[in-house]
């Protein structure tokens, strides 16, 4: 899983953390189990993806796939990307 600089402090500064999971939800849970605090940063109290966090699996936005239940094939990269706003 690739992490933005804002979340790297939670994983000892690593830009990428290896994880084995079948879905995006499982991947977030696995990283959170190893590095507590990640899930609360990307998921809201209901377990849904926070509004200002984008998640990509193999460069595809999971919001246009199956959300957190998007299947992650072996070797695919999950990227957490903060939303950027401007004007």
Contact 69, 23 (CB under 8 A): yes
Distance (Å, rounded) from C-alpha 15 to C-alpha 69? 23
Other C-beta atoms closer than 10 Å to the C-beta of 73 total 8
For 38-57, the pLDDT digits (tens) are 999 999 999 999 988 999 99
pLDDT for res 30: 96
Backbone φ and ψ of 16, nearest 5°? -145, 135
pTM of the model: 0.90
Domains in the chain: ranges and CATH: 5-82 (3.10.20.30)
- At residue 84, does pLDDT exceed 90? no
Higher pLDDT, 5 or 71: 71
pLDDT for res 86: 56
pLDDT for res 55: 96
């Amino acid at each position: 899983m690739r992490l933005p600089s804002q979340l790297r402090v939670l994983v000892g500064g690593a830009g990428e953390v290896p994880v084995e999971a079948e879905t995006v939800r499982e991947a977030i849970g696995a990283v959170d189990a190893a590095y507590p605090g990640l899930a609360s940063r990307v998921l809201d109290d209901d377990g849904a993806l926070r509004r200002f966090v984008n998640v990509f699996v193999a460069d595809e936005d999971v919001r246009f796939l199956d959300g957190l239940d998007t299947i992650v094939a072996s070797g695919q990269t999950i990227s957490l990307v903060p939303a950027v706003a401007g004007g």
